[in-house]
Amino acid sequence: MSNLLQIQNIRKTFPGVVALDDISLSIAPGEIHTLLGENGAGKSTLMNVLTGLYRPDRGEILFDGAPIHFNSPRDSLAVGIGMVHQHFMLVPAHTVFENILLALDGVPLLFSKKKYKQQVQTILDDLELDLDLDDPVWKLSIGAQQWIELIKLLARDCRLLILDEPTAVLTPQESARLFEVLTRLRDRGKSILFISHKMREVMELSDRVTVLKKGCSLVTLKRGEYDENRLASLMIGEDQIPMWIKPACKRDQLALEIKNLSVRNTRGRADLDNFNMKLYRGQILGVAGVAGNGQKPLAEVLTGLKEATSGRILAGDKDITNSTARSSYIAGIAHIPEDRKSIGIAPDMTVGDNLIMKNFNSKLFRRWIFQDRAAIRKNATAKIDQFAIKAGPDGNPVRYLSGGNIQKVIIARELSEKPAVLVALYPTRGLDIGSAEYVHKVIIDGANQGMSTILISEDLDELLKLSDEIVVMFRGRLVGCVDPQETTREEIGLLMSGEVQT
């Protein structure tokens, strides 16, 4: 079998860290190959090597049997390697067609719009995708935006498609549709490199799976050679996935009550529409829903980043509807934001500085107008130790940390003031199993000590495992409330799609 892509003994180091150590991997034409590994295992680094963002220190990449060297993503696109990133690279104000056109090479200065449109439409029809080329991108759902990213690559005739955690933002139904399309593309000879943490998907979709651990490619398994337990144990290095004991919530003491809350966005549409919810002390309340149905505004309004248009939020007997982020924090609401890199951290500052971002003004870290550097350093050492953060050398800017470790920095900071309520938005998105388990443990430990959590997630397994109660959001409304002990994935999936209401 001649391979489309062959990676041989790739090594890549960063100052003080070996990110990839002797990675070998091959991808055949017409294969779906899944890359599985914890955060910090080197998946992102490997992707960045393949797409030309990083240069390996050593080793060889063969494409079609010929050695290649990339200097920029342009080079890798030129040979036919394309990637759908976790964060979409789209221009929201432009139409679907304009975005696709941007991705094409060699479009002449004066071009026939009709001809190109026809070309793109053919791809759409071929995959049976229902997408209006003249719609502006901002109007589309996240799922539809992902299709655009994929079509951009197909329009360029890429031969190897790399998808980084594509299902993280999709409903179960949308994921199923994506798999269908990927399988079809595979059957036509496209090679697909798929990155995922979700075992079920991996089992369903892959022809082969390569497990990465600590920068090494551990083992490549063919379909049939693996099952869920084997993969999980390879990834996290133990045979058993620990299950945490869910705390029984007594529901006697109200922690937070949301009454008829509405939030309008800048375009005047309702982000939250007459939303009602009760949260009890020590409860973990799961919020399910497809991304973009009001979860983010809910979190933002709770943490004071957005103003409510109408309605009230009560904490105990205190009205906290309109307060700034700081006074909410003092009132005891912590927030793990959705987009950790863009709003959770100050990337150029040290881990220690980032750990005090929320309470830098507290007496703990301040003497009069001066910062208490010794106390800040001590706090950093303690938190790094307590949360097992791999922080690198002293004074390391936080942007050099891996995604999982950045998330740990944020969680360590948010939980340091012993909040009464935690609003966690997709707290394990993009995290490896080990880190995700750790986040779950922190949330459950908190609940045992009386912290109430609003857990907003798209990972049904996570919601089912942790929550005392699951509510489902659709278009800014609460459309259902189910008991995790009794419900099924299908029931939640249907609620998420807005087709039924309980």
Partner 1 sequence: MKLITEKRELSSQLFRFIAPIISVLVALFVAGFLLQAAGVNPAQAYFEILQEALGSTYGLSETLVKTTPLIFASLGVSLAFRMQIWNIGAEGQIYMGACGASGVALFSGIESHPVMITAMFLAAFLCGGLWAGVAGILRARWRVNEVIVTLLMNYIAILGVDYLIYGPWKDPKGYNFPLTAQFSDAARLTEYFDTRFHSGFFLALFCALVLYLFMERTVWGYEIKVIGSNPKAARYAGMRTGLAIFAVLFLSGAIAGIAGFGEVAGLQHRLQHGISPGYGYTAIIIAWLAKRSALGVVIVSFLMGVLLVGGDSLQLTWQLPVAFVYAFQGLILFFLLASDFFIHNRLKLVKGDHHA
Q: Which residues would be at the binding site for partner 1 (CB under 8 A)?
A: 14-15, 54-55, 63, 66, 68-69, 71, 75, 78-79, 303-305, 324-327, 329, 335, 337, 342-349, 353, 357-358, 360-361, 366, 369-371, 373
**What residues contact 46, with CB distance under 8 A and at least 6 apart?**
7, 10, 20, 23, 25, 35, 212
Spatial distance between the Cα atoms of 320 and 309, rounded to a whole number of angstroms: 14
Which tokens hold the place of 53?
């963002």
Nearer to partner 1, 72 or 502 (CB): 72
Nearer to partner 1, 28 or 331 (CB): 331
State the nearest-atom distance from the C-beta of 49 to partner 1, in Å.
12
What DSSP character marks residue 7?
E
Spatial distance between the Cα atoms of 411 and 34, rounded to a whole number of angstroms: 29
Nearer to partner 1, 309 or 371 (CB): 371
Nearer to partner 1, 348 or 483 (CB): 348
Phi and psi torsions of 280, nearest 5°: -100, 165
- Contact criterion met (CB below 8 Å) for 439 and 433: no
Which helix (H) or strand (E) element contains residue 47? helix 43-50
State the nearest-atom distance from the C-beta of 370 to partner 1, in Å.
5
- Contact criterion met (CB below 8 Å) for 362 and 418: no
Nearer to partner 1, 236 or 411 (CB): 411
State the nearest-atom distance from the C-beta of 73 to partner 1, in Å.
12
Range list of H helices, 214-254: 228-236
Residues in the chain: 502
Which tokens hold the place of 475?
């278009």
State the nearest-atom distance from the C-beta of 419 to partner 1, in Å.
14
Spatial distance between the Cα atoms of 372 and 367, rounded to a whole number of angstroms: 6
State the nearest-atom distance from the C-beta of 53 to partner 1, in Å.
8
- Contact criterion met (CB below 8 Å) for 460 and 440: no
Nearer to partner 1, 119 or 327 (CB): 327
State the nearest-atom distance from the C-beta of 452 to partner 1, in Å.
21
State the nearest-atom distance from the C-beta of 69 to partner 1, in Å.
5
